[in-house]
Amino acid sequence: MLNRTIRVRVPGTSANCGPGFDAIGVACTIYNDLELTLKGEEGLVIEIEGEGAANIPADERNIVLRAIRTILKRAHREDEVKGFHIRMTNHIPLSRGLGSSAAAIVAGLKAANALLGNRFSRRELLQMATNIEGHPDNVAPAIFGGFTISVVTRGRVECFSLMPRMPLKLVVAVPEFPLSTRLARSVLPEQVKMKDAVFNVSRAALLVAALTKGQPRFLRNAFADALHQPYREKLIPGMKDVFRAACRAGALGASLSGAGPCLIAYTLENEESVGQAMVEAFREHEIEAHALQLSLDAHGARILKHR
């Protein structure tokens, strides 16, 4: 375990996917890489390149390090490890709703688990990651890939992963301002109306059925939400106009990506014009944004190499 270096790659993720608040998520083709060496002698080196390099703490507060310590503790191996060399190469934008914290947690768990000889299964990693993150809908697709449906029962999480039977593309409009998940959760109500619950239950079921069966026409109604987006709209100027612009440009549907502020459109075609339309709609509300054209990641977190 000591003095070996392992490299892992973890996808960014978009949670909720419209009606699946805290339950449905999808893995996207944008990645963070982590290189980890555990050492027998004291020392902490954390190097960060790319997204968040200036903002991510490179000390004990680092979330990758916290995940590594969690798994070493679970394996009762924490006393053997005195030093850590962590190198992160990040492409997932920070605090934008593309699962950067989930990717960091999963990267730490996956890399340390590999150095432990894969002592824990992916299901066990999912449980640990959910305990750290607080909800499963980003960490599940980051671990398993594809669309995931996660269910928590008395604290135990299980997850079903599926690849849609259609060549679905994901277009993400990334506004230049960050939004903390804590703030975006603080605006949500404690209770919701029965009609809003029914609105979401029916669409979440339709979404999963349409993806599984490969019937895109049903997706046109499947990405709407009444449980969280209406409350978060005030935090993301132009949200509804960006959704409308994406659909006018040919997308099947659009939603808030996780807690935002990224907005994501689901489409089978015209990715470039969908992205442009979303960026222009944001600009009309004086928000600068850029578009990412992504596909689904089918594999989730993976090991790149050992040294």
- What residues are designated binding site for ATP? 93-103
Among 32, 138, 150, 255, binds ligand HSE (CB under 6 A): 138
Q: Which is nearer to ligand HSE, 12 or 275 (CB)?
A: 12
Site for ligand HSE in 185-224 (CB under 6 A): 185
Smallest separation (angstroms) from ligand HSE to the CB of 55: 17
Residue 287 within binding range of ligand HSE, rule CB under 6 A: no
Among 127, 181, 229, 255, binds ligand HSE (CB under 6 A): 181
Smallest separation (angstroms) from ligand HSE to the CB of 15: 4
Binding range to ligand HSE, per CB under 6 A, among 16-24, 34-42, 159-167, 194-202: 16-24
Contacts of 61 (CB under 8 A, 6+ apart): none
CA distances from 278 to 77, 134, 250, 255, 266 (A): 49, 31, 11, 12, 12
CA distances from 30 to 55, 85, 172 (A): 20, 24, 11
Residue 15 within binding range of ligand HSE, rule CB under 6 A: yes
Q: Which is nearer to ligand HSE, 6 or 129 (CB)?
A: 129
Distance of CA 261 to the CA centre of its chain: 13
Residue 14 within binding range of ligand HSE, rule CB under 6 A: no
Binding site listing? 93-103
Contacts of 149 (CB under 8 A, 6+ apart): 20, 23, 24, 159, 160, 162, 208
Smallest separation (angstroms) from ligand HSE to the CB of 287: 20
Cα(8)–Cα(306) distance, integer angstroms: 9
Binding mask 19-38 for ligand HSE (x = CB under 6 A): --xx----------------
Smallest separation (angstroms) from ligand HSE to the CB of 204: 13
Residue 135 within binding range of ligand HSE, rule CB under 6 A: yes
Q: Which is nearer to ligand HSE, 32 or 37 (CB)?
A: 32
- C-alpha gyration radius of the chain: 19
Binding range to ligand HSE, per CB under 6 A, among 133-141, 169-177, 192-200, 210-218: 133-141
Q: Which is nearer to ligand HSE, 25 or 275 (CB)?
A: 25
DSSP H/E element including 156: strand 156-162
Smallest separation (angstroms) from ligand HSE to the CB of 185: 5
Contacts of 286 (CB under 8 A, 6+ apart): 237
Residue 259 within binding range of ligand HSE, rule CB under 6 A: yes
Residues that contact ligand HSE, how many (by CB under 6 A): 13
Binding mask 218-257 for ligand HSE (x = CB under 6 A): ----------x-----------------------------
Q: Which is nearer to ligand HSE, 15 or 252 (CB)?
A: 15
The contact set with ligand HSE (CB under 6 A) reads 15-16, 21-22, 135, 137-138, 181, 184-185, 228, 258-259
